[in-house]
Amino acid sequence: MAITTFSTTYTAMKTALIGEINKVKTIVAGVPDSVLSGISNRYIVTLRTSFPSGGGYFGGFQNLVINAYLQENIVFDSSSRWDGIVQELPGKVQDFISNAETLANVFGKSLITTLSTRRRWAGSEPLGITLKLQFEAVNNVEDEVLKPCMILQQLTLPRGGVANALGLTPPGPFPFKVSADKGWEDIGEYTSIDIGGFVVLNSVIVENVQVKFLNRMSQSGPVGAEVILKISSYEMLTKEGLAKAYKTIKPPTTGTLGAPTR
């Protein structure tokens, strides 16, 4: 009995300890600290991502930090949708208006007025951003080129279950929480982006990653890569939310900070 009790207690303690270690474990890739300290942070893009790690959803989170050189232009895409007010009316009313319009046309007139062409806001799209990033090996090809490119591509892909028997877990944030033994656990992937210290979005979705490895090879692989990254905000922003994203701060120059606050 004593041995069983000790074994159970030890297993519980080890699981708890591993969970705590996983929660703070951070992997840093991309531009090394030695270069970050000597370059203006206005030319650096930092992505931080956090996702469940280990054996199951309740074993802690893996934190990743990617630093990349910002290249060329930054494209922001914001848009809203507007529907005509006539199209919002019930079908029978639209039929009546259509018939009346046909009758009016017989007399060379139209029921269309400037008022009838007014439109109603039907929602705004999430903010879209397109960035061109560059990775260049200084000390280590794997950590500074291959790994950050792989991680960025992984952000567009699902996670597998046990032999995929339980289905796949979609990438990106998960709008709900699942139940653990006690309480609720957030199982989503969360990614934030800091663009040159002047725009910070705390939750983004990575929609498309195009990697072009440059044909300059070392024993470990290509020593440079260019990435076209397309992301969007997790949800539609408000005027206040966008104003909050535009803020002048000094982005971290080391990998000591973890992923965004969950």
Region of poorest pLDDT, from 53-67, 77-91, 223-237: 53-67
36/106 same-domain check: no
One domain for residues 130 and 72: yes
Residues 63 and 114 in one domain: no
> What pLDDT score was predicted for residue 20?
45
Is residue 36 assigned to a domain?
A: yes
Which contiguous run of DSSP H or E holds residue 166?
none
Asked, for residue 254, whether it belongs to a domain, the answer is: no
Q: Residue 23 falls within a domain, yes or no? A: yes
Degrees to nearest 5, angle at CA 248 with 244 and 251: 105
The pLDDT value recorded for residue 201 is: 93
C-alpha span between 46 and 249 (Å, rounded): 13
Mean pLDDT of 87-109: 62
CA distances from 252 to 130, 148, 196 (A): 22, 17, 10
Shared domain for 153 and 183, answered yes or no, is yes
Averaged confidence pLDDT in the chain: 76
Whether 49 and 114 share a structural domain: no
Q: Which tens digits make up the pLDDT trace of 173-199? A: 877 766 555 555 666 788 999 999 889
117 and 191 housed in the same domain:
no
Same-domain pairing of 70 and 103: no
Residues 117 and 101 in one domain: yes
Percent of the chain residues past pLDDT 70, beyond the cut: 63
Q: How far apart are CA 258 and CA 65, in angstroms?
A: 7
259 in any annotated domain: no
Range of 85's domain? 80-122
**Total of domains in the chain:** 2
Has residue 66 got a pLDDT over 80? yes
DSSP category for residue 196: T
pTM summary value: 0.72
User: Looking at the structure, do residues 23 and 152 belong to the same domain, yes or no?
Assistant: yes
